């Protein structure tokens, strides 16, 4: 018997209304009231008021300046590599003259290609999403639709903590606990299950690699995915749930038709936000991915990622080209995360604040 909820407040439109801006609901209007405008116009401290106003504007402006400075410095410092390799930096491979094997990253002969790093970042982030999305959405469904009230607080607190644990502590735990666990118990199972496809081969005895990185990343992005999913799911008006239940739906049918269908855009936004975090994650990945600039089909083999190679090599890079190549990888990471985060923000806004055009 599904739990029946009676909505305590009526929601005026079909657009789900979020509670991210409580001031907009109730008595207080969003913009400055006529009363306040009048009172402000009578103020006799116009100069100090104006100074204060501009000081605040300046601080708000500084956020723009910081982002612009970051972008500008990254572009300028990576010019060298850009001129030398062009766009091929991200997809070309070099052939080793002695062995004839493909070579990607050779600081000694100044041959640089970011291909293995892009590959590693994509593979580990995708693995993380594959693991984290079902769990995160499952957790959100449990918490919004099924969880007894007494449990909701503690679980929310735990996931908040999970989000607040620093990357380095995840890394430490992964190196000493997760990797041995995967090596002894999980990887052999994967080899027997997926061995025939070549996606999991047992030629890496360390337990490090793409899969370990994907698992630790999935634990790290879970809180983001589940908390955003929870937010958009609670933004769906109760009338939607009640309507579906009134037609005789079971609880799952109510969740599927009444909640998930309405919240799907926001959920995708949350997943993309999680992806954005996974792409740029550095320390935990660096500690478990194995740090070898190679491309392998097997998810159990060693690899490296864009963030990891910067963390490992930047302070030891001696040549200008090497340093510039690493900064260009950083620039690519910067651009990709900006795009990914922007898309995610727009999708989440679309659900929690009405359509994006109404947000302005």
Partner 1 sequence: MSAEKFVFRSRMRTLTDHAVTALSIGATVVVVIPLVAIFIYLLIKGVSSLNLDFFTKLPAPVGESGGGMANSIVGSGVLLAIASAMGVPIGIAAGIYLAEFGRGTKFANAVRFTADVLNGVPSIVMGLAIYSLVVVPQGRFSALSGGIALGIMMIPTVCRTTEEMLLLVPHAVREAALGLGVPNWRSVLSITVKTASSGIITGCMLAFARVAGETAPLLFTAFGNPFMTTSLNQPIEALPLQIYVYANSPYDDWHRLAWAGALVLILLIVIAVSLVRYVTSRGVLKGAS
Residues 154-213 that bind partner 1 (CB under 8 A): 155, 157-162, 164-173, 175-177
Intra-chain end-to-end CA distance of the chain, in Å: 43
Site for partner 1 in 86-105 (CB under 8 A): none
Q: Pick the closest to residue 212 from 179, 170, 169 (CA basis).
A: 179
* Options 10, 13, 48, 357; binder of partner 1; rule CB under 8 A: 48
Select 19 or 202, whichever has its Cβ closest to partner 1: 19
359 binds partner 1 (CB under 8 A): yes
Give the chain's length: 360
Q: Least distance to partner 1 from the beta carbon of 198, Å?
A: 28
CB-based contacts of 264, cutoff 8 Å, min separation 6? none
Torsion of CA 74, 76, 77, 80, to 10 degrees: 130
138 binds partner 1 (CB under 8 A): yes
Site for partner 1 in 319-338 (CB under 8 A): 326-327, 330-331, 333-334, 337-338
Segment near partner 1 (CB under 8 A); pick from 8-16, 44-52, 107-115, 231-239: 44-52
Select 286 or 298, whichever has its Cβ closest to partner 1: 286
Paired residues of 1 in beta bridges: none
Q: Least distance to partner 1 from the beta carbon of 44, Å?
A: 8
247 binds partner 1 (CB under 8 A): no
Tell me how crowded residue 245 is: count the other CB atoms within 10 A of its CB: 18
How many CA atoms are closer than 13 Å to the CA of 24, on its beta-carbon side? 10
Segment near partner 1 (CB under 8 A); pick from 9-17, 94-102, 184-192, 247-255: 247-255
Select 109 or 250, whichever has its Cβ closest to partner 1: 250
Per-residue CA distances from 164 to 121, 145, 160, 161, 269 (Å): 22, 25, 6, 5, 21
* Options 62, 192, 239, 355; binder of partner 1; rule CB under 8 A: 62
246 binds partner 1 (CB under 8 A): no
69 binds partner 1 (CB under 8 A): yes
Site for partner 1 in 11-30 (CB under 8 A): 20-24, 27-30
Residue 167 contacts residue 173 (beta carbons within 8 Å): no
Listed in sequence order, the DSSP H helices in the chain are 34-41, 46-77, 79-85, 115-141, 149-164, 167-173, 179-181, 187-194, 210-235, 238-246, 251-253, 261-280, 283-288, 306-313, 320-352, 356-359
Residue 182 contacts residue 213 (beta carbons within 8 Å): no
* Options 17, 135, 191, 265; binder of partner 1; rule CB under 8 A: 135
CB-based contacts of 91, cutoff 8 Å, min separation 6? 113, 115
Q: Least distance to partner 1 from the beta carbon of 338, Å?
A: 5
Longest dimension (CA), the chain: 83
Q: How many chain residues interact with partner 1 (CB under 8 A)?
A: 109
265 binds partner 1 (CB under 8 A): no
228 binds partner 1 (CB under 8 A): no
Contact string 297-316 vs partner 1 (x = CB under 8 A): ----------x--xx--xx-
Select 190 or 279, whichever has its Cβ closest to partner 1: 279
150 binds partner 1 (CB under 8 A): no
């Amino acid at each position: 018997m599904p739990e029946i909820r009676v909505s305590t407040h009526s929601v005026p439109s079909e657009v789900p209304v979020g509670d991210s801006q409580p001031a907009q609901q109730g008595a207080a209007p969003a913009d400055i009231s006529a009363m306040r405008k009048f009172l402000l116009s009578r103020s006799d401290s116009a100069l100090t008021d104006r100074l204060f106003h501009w000081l605040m504007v300046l601080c708000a402006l500084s956020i723009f300046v910081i982002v612009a400075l970051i972008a500008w410095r990254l572009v300028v410092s990576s010019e060298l590599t850009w001129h030398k390799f062009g766009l091929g930096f991200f997809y070309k491979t070099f052939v080793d003259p002695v062995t004839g094997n493909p070579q990607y990253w050779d600081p000694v002969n100044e041959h640089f290609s970011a291909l293995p790093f892009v590959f590693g970042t994509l593979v580990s982030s995708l693995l993380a999403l594959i693991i984290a999305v079902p769990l995160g959405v499952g957790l959100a469904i449990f918490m919004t639709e099924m969880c007894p009230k007494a449990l909701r607080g503690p679980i929310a607190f735990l996931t908040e903590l999970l989000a607040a644990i620093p990357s380095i502590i995840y890394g430490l735990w992964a190196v000493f606990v997760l990797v041995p666990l995967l090596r002894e118990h999980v990887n052999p199972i994967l080899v027997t299950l997926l061995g025939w496809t070549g996606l999991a081969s047992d030629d890496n005895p360390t337990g490090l690699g793409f899969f370990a990185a994907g698992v630790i990343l999935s634990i790290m992005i879970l809180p983001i995915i589940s908390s955003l999913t929870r937010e958009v799911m609670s933004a769906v008006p109760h009338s939607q749930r009640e309507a579906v239940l009134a037609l005789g739906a079971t609880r799952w049918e109510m969740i599927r038709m009444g909640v998930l269908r309405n919240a799907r855009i926001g959920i995708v936004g949350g997943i993309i936000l999680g992806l954005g975090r996974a792409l740029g994650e550095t320390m935990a990945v660096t500690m478990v991915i194995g740090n070898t600039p190679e491309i392998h089909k097997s998810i159990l083999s060693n690899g490296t990622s864009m963030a990891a190679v910067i963390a490992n090599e930047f302070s030891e890079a001696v040549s200008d080209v090497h340093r510039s190549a690493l900064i260009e990888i950083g620039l690519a990471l910067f651009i990709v995360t900006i795009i990914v985060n922007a898309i995610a923000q727009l999708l989440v806004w679309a659900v929690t604040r009405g359509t994006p055009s109404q947000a302005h």
